[in-house]
């Protein structure tokens, strides 16, 4: 039986020892392993299938890890992980104790830069290229960025900076928004090889020098070259940024990739290579529906059918349904998302209200200021955004929305721990960074029905507001079909108990209620982080000997700290125990086990409270 070629590759050094003619076979084996692995662990599939040949070519041509490859986002790095000593570890991809779903510097010397959020690759690679020059090194830096990530302003800021240098930076644009189109064929492949060759580069430099003595002729020649390139490529924009644009080429043609990259490696100055790939390449279900197979749970690789999930609606679905219902009731409502239509539950809304739906691309800063502009003129924007991505638009939230007290509502998904995606995607800090902003209303629902009603409360509020809810499903409570709001700043006493009061926010209300049975403790579902229910806090402080705050957020600056500050203002002195996420980045794994490791399941809460009780004076 023939040993699979992939089994002989432990590092890119092994890869570079192969004859180029063997690389197509290796690409096929990589795709088989990718499908088999992701079927067992879940993860990002379609984008990884689309970058197999590019990954092979980059590691084949460049001297990695000495040369640095900076991947954008990291959704397309599974083949990179396999080729860099982590083939066996793919069985534990995104699992507790296993390798991460994104590049991490601590995981491998081949992971040049840790990523998770998009559009950082060009900036990071440019920084590396400049560092190499400072250190007198001939190492190379390559940034690989997708067409989606190119919609972010940060990518263009980096291009603008890089184009003004003479650094040998290579930016590879992986354009997978379309199939290989007819104009990405033999002619363009030939032109790409020609334009990346040293003869063309030398001739260009020589003609530029000669024509510099006659500026009008030089300008004419420049415009003629741009016109010729513009006939067959979209490169004029990148040329204006100061890059030598090459492409577009077929990103699945290894011969063209290898020759073009080898030529580019010999060139000086910033280079921009545009390749076109197909998401899901080589796996029919993913090719047919790349959006569905972008991020997948476990599935049957033979059929592509995913494992059945629970029947309970997720918080994301609850939000999506509420958005459509509120849109029917209020014509002022518009929905905005920074390229997260599916993830944020906006598919139905986009179909039913296409003229009131806005996907602004991966541009969180723009999304918030765009919403602020709408709110200035009487429209009621709802911005659906992940907690981790809201971090990228903090200045806009403060300066453009809160400072002007505009009625923009944030529907914050993925609050708290997110499981397999790990610390890059965890929503661990939103309560902390939102609570300090004046004019904000902040709500944290404890179940699906509370979520629906708090969404209505926030939307009807005449000022900036945020509702934060976790990934996945809640307890499965029945949903009220109405749109009735709650009284702002009013919590609810869920259980009367002994002399211990558990003050819970959002997703931790459920395990808190369970722990309270064993502790015979009172439980308050606070609902609002800002404004706090001060009257409820006062009542609990006066009738209990220990208060315990609980939140799925960093303790520092979070809801518990806000409670302590409120008690101090009331002049009430009572012992307070704060339970929440520890002051560390929490690794990926199973969400329930992650919460348990933080002491935030029912057993952990009970144990922490009993320990604190033991320290109280008799």
- The answer to whether residues 229 and 235 touch, using CB atoms and an 8 Å cutoff, is yes
Give the integer Cα–Cα distance in Å for 251 and 256.
Answer: 8
Give the integer Cα–Cα distance in Å for 341 and 293.
Answer: 15
In three-state secondary structure terms, 581 is strand
- The answer to whether residues 272 and 122 touch, using CB atoms and an 8 Å cutoff, is no
Query: What order do you get walking across the sheet with 68-71 strand by strand?
Result: 68-71, 141-146, 169-175, 271-276, 244-250
Provide DSSP, 423-466. Answer: GGT-B-SHHHHHHTSTT-EEE--SSHHHHHHHHHHHHHSSS-EE
Give the integer Cα–Cα distance in Å for 422 and 259.
Answer: 38
Give the integer Cα–Cα distance in Å for 390 and 410.
Answer: 9
Q: Is residue 109 flagged as an active site residue?
A: no
In three-state secondary structure terms, 83 is helix
Structure tokens at 365: 């800063």
Q: Is residue 471 flagged as an active site residue?
A: no
Query: What order do you get walking across the sheet with 528-530 strand by strand?
Result: 357-359, 333-337, 380-386, 409-413, 465-468, 441-443, 528-530
Catalytic site residue from 341, 392, 452, 527? 392
Give the integer Cα–Cα distance in Å for 117 and 390.
Answer: 11
User: 190: how many CB neighbours lie within 10 A of its CB?
Assistant: 12
In three-state secondary structure terms, 198 is helix
- CB burial of residue 166 (10 Å; 0-12, 13-18, 19+): exposed
Q: Is residue 484 flagged as an active site residue?
A: no
Q: What are phi and psi for residue 509, nearest 5 degrees?
A: -65, -40
Catalytic site residue from 53, 239, 259, 364? 364
Residue 245, CA distances (Å) to 184, 226, 278, 500 in order? 15, 10, 21, 67
Instruction: Count Cα atoms within 13 angstroms, Cβ side, for 151.
Output: 16
- The answer to whether residues 83 and 284 touch, using CB atoms and an 8 Å cutoff, is no
Provide DSSP, 231-245. Answer: HH-STHHHHHTT-EE
Give the integer Cα–Cα distance in Å for 417 and 444.
Answer: 15
Residue 80, CA distances (Å) to 49, 71, 162, 598 in order? 11, 10, 25, 32
For 280-294, b/e burial (b = at least 16 CB within 10 A) is: bbbbebbbeebebbb
Q: Where are the alpha helices (DSSP H) in 17-120?
A: 23-41, 46-49, 52-61, 78-81
For 216-244, b/e burial (b = at least 16 CB within 10 A) is: eebeebeeeeeeebeeebebeebbebbbb
Catalytic site residue from 279, 356, 527, 530? 279
Distance in angstroms between the alpha carbons of the first and the last residue of the chain: 75
Residues marked as catalytic:
279, 364, 392
């Amino acid at each position: 039986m023939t040993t699979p070629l992939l089994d002989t590759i432990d590092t890119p050094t092994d890869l570079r020892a192969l004859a180029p003619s063997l690389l197509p076979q290796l690409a096929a084996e990589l795709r088989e392993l990718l499908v088999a692995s992701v079927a067992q662990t879940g993860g990002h599939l379609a984008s990884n299938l689309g970058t197999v040949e590019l990954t092979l070519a980059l590691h084949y041509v460049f001297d990695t890890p000495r040369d640095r490859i900076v991947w954008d986002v990291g959704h397309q790095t599974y083949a990179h992980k396999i080729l860099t000593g982590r083939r066996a570890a793919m069985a534990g991809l995104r699992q507790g104790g296993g390798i991460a779903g994104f590049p991490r510097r601590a995981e491998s010397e081949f992971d040049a830069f840790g990523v998770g959020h998009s559009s950082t690759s060009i900036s990071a690679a440019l920084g590396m290229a400049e560092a190499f020059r400072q250190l007198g090194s001939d190492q190379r830096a390559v940034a690989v960025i997708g067409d989606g990530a190119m919609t972010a302003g940060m990518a263009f800021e980096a291009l603008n900076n890089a184009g003004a240098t003479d650094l040998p930076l290579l930016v590879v644009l992986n354009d997978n928004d379309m199939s290989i189109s007819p104009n990405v064929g033999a002619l363009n492949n030939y032109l790409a090889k020609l334009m990346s060759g040293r003869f063309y580069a030398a001739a260009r430099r020589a003609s530029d020098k000669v024509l510099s003595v006659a500026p009008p002729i030089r300008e004419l020649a420049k415009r003629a070259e741009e016109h010729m390139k513009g006939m067959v490529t979209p490169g004029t924009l990148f040329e204006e940024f100061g890059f030598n644009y090459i492409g577009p080429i077929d990103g699945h043609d290894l011969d063209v990739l290898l020759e073009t990259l080898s030529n580019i490696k010999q060139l000086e100055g910033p280079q921009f290579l545009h390749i076109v790939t197909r998401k899901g390449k080589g796996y029919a279900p993913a090719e047919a529906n790349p959006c569905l197979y972008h991020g997948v749970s476990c599935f049957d690789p033979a059929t592509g059918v995913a494992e059945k999930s629970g029947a309970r609606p997720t918080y994301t679905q609850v939000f999506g349904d509420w958005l459509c219902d509120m849109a029917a009731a209020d014509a002022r409502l518009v929905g905005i998302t920074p390229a997260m239509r599916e993830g944020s539950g906006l598919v139905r809304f986009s179909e039913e209200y296409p003229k009131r739906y806005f996907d602004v691309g991966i541009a969180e800063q723009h999304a918030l200021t765009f919403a602020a502009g709408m709110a200035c003129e009487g429209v009621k924007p709802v911005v659906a955004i992940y907690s981790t991505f809201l971090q990228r638009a903090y200045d806009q939230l403060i300066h453009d929305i809160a400072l002007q007290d505009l009625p923009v509502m944030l529907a914050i998904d993925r609050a708290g721990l997110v499981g397999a995606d790990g610390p890059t995607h965890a929503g661990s800090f939103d309560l902390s960074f939102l609570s300090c902003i004046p004019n904000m209303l902040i709500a944290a629902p404890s179940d699906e029905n509370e979520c629906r009603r708090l969404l209505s409360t926030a939307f009807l509020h005449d000022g900036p507001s945020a509702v934060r809810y976790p990934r996945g499903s809640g307890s499965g409570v029945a949903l009220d079909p109405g749109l009735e709001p709650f009284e702002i700043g009013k919590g609810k006493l869920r259980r009367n108990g002994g002399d211990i009061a558990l003050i819970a926010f959002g997703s931790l209300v459920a395990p808190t209620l369970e722990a309270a049975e064993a502790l015979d403790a009172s439980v308050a579902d606070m609902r609002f982080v800002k404004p706090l229910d001060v009257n409820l806090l006062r009542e609990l402080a006066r009738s209990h000997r220990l208060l315990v705050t609980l939140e799925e957020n960093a303790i520092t600056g979070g809801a518990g700290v806000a409670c302590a500050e409120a008690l101090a203002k009331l002049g009430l002195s009572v012992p307070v125990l704060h339970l929440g996420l520890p002051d560390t980045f929490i690794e990926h794994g199973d969400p329930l086990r992650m919460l348990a490791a933080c002491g935030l399941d029912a057993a952990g809460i009970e144990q922490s409270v009993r320990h604190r009780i033991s320290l109280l004076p008799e």
